[in-house]
Structure 1
Amino acid sequence: LIYVADWQNDRVQVFDSEGRFITKIIGDATLSKWGEQKLDANPDMRLQREIAQGLERERFLSGPLGVEIDDNNLLFIIDSDRNRIQIYRKIDPFFLGRYDGGRL
């Protein structure tokens, strides 16, 4: 499989070895326990984030710059605009599970 970080369209595209489109990944993140704790301790920050763009939008990719798969079939996506790395467990051709990343 070929993974293409499509920065301008906020997605990662997946193609087979012949170049045929298989699927796209748009992200499915949730706040980590540390992110939740930070917002719980700073209610004004939570309110500002909800007013500015809504917390729901944060689950999606925004400006993915790179993709890497390790020997354990974990797919790492650098999510540049959100300052994080989204990590997925690869199950061909779909992805199950997600690990929250920290600041780049």
Structure 2
Amino acid sequence: MCVNRIATKRQTEALRQNLKNAIPDIEIADICSKTGNTSGTGNHVECLSFIAFSTGMQKAEIESRMSKYYALDENIWHIEEKGDGNYIIYLITSAPFADNIEGH
């Protein structure tokens, strides 16, 4: 289980750094992560990272810049627009040990 949590921590830190590299005027408001069965549908473990941020960029430009780091796939990552330049980006991947007890 420890390895899965470390993977989530690394994923979240990489997402934060990639956002900072892609968006010059970014202001990060909150960083959260979860390791476990995030969908509640089955015996598997995922790494979920989400970051709330603000920027003067439009959603399409953010997606374009972030596609340098991640293939745009609603099942893996997406950006939710909250209004007034506020967004939440979500990144979900399978954990290294996806079939352990953490998924129950």
TM over 0.5: no
* Higher RCO, 1 vs 2 (CA within 8 Å, ≥6 residues apart): 2
Question: TM (normalized to structure 2)?
Answer: 0.29
Which structure has the bigger radius of gyration? 1
